[in-house]
A = this chain, B = another copy of it.
Amino acid sequence: MRATVLHLPGEIALVERPKPRIVDGTDAVVRVTTAAVCGSDLWWYRGDNPFDQPRRMGHEFIGRVEQVGPDVTTVQAGDAVIAAFKVSDGTCIPCSDGYTSNCHRGSYWGQSDRDGADLDGGQGERVRVPYADGTLVPVPGGLDEALLPHLLALTDVMPTGLHAAQCAGVRPGSEVVVIGDGAVGLCAVLAARRLGAERVTIMSRHPDRQETSRAFGVDDIVTERGAKGVARIRALHGGLGAAHVLECVGSEQSLQQAIDCTRPGGQIGMVGIPHGVPLRPRDLFIKNLGLRGGGAPARALIPGLLPDVLDGTLLPGAVFNRRYTLDEIGTAYADMAERRTIKAQIDVTPV
Contacts and interface: CB of A to CB of B under 8 A. Distances in A.
A291 B97 CA distance: 18
A20 interface: no
A204 interface: no
A99 B243 CA distance: 12
Interface in A160-183: 167
Interface string A304-322: 0000000000000000000
B289 A292 contact: yes
Is chain A's binding surface mostly helix, strand, loop or mixed?
mixed
Contacts of A287: 102, 294
Interface residues of A, number: 38
Given A102-B287, A277-B280, A288-B102, A97 B264 contact: yes
Contact of A285 (B263, B280, B282, B294): B294
Interface in A274-299: 274, 277-282, 284-295, 297
A265 B99 CA distance: 6
Nearest to A93: B240
Given A102-B287, A278-B278, 12 more contacts: A93-B263, A167-B290, A274-B280, A274-B282, A277-B280, A278-B279, A279-B279, A281-B291, A284-B292, A286-B294, A290-B292, A290-B293
Interface of A: 93-94, 97-99, 101-102, 167, 238-240, 255, 263-265, 267, 270, 273-274, 277-282, 284-295, 297
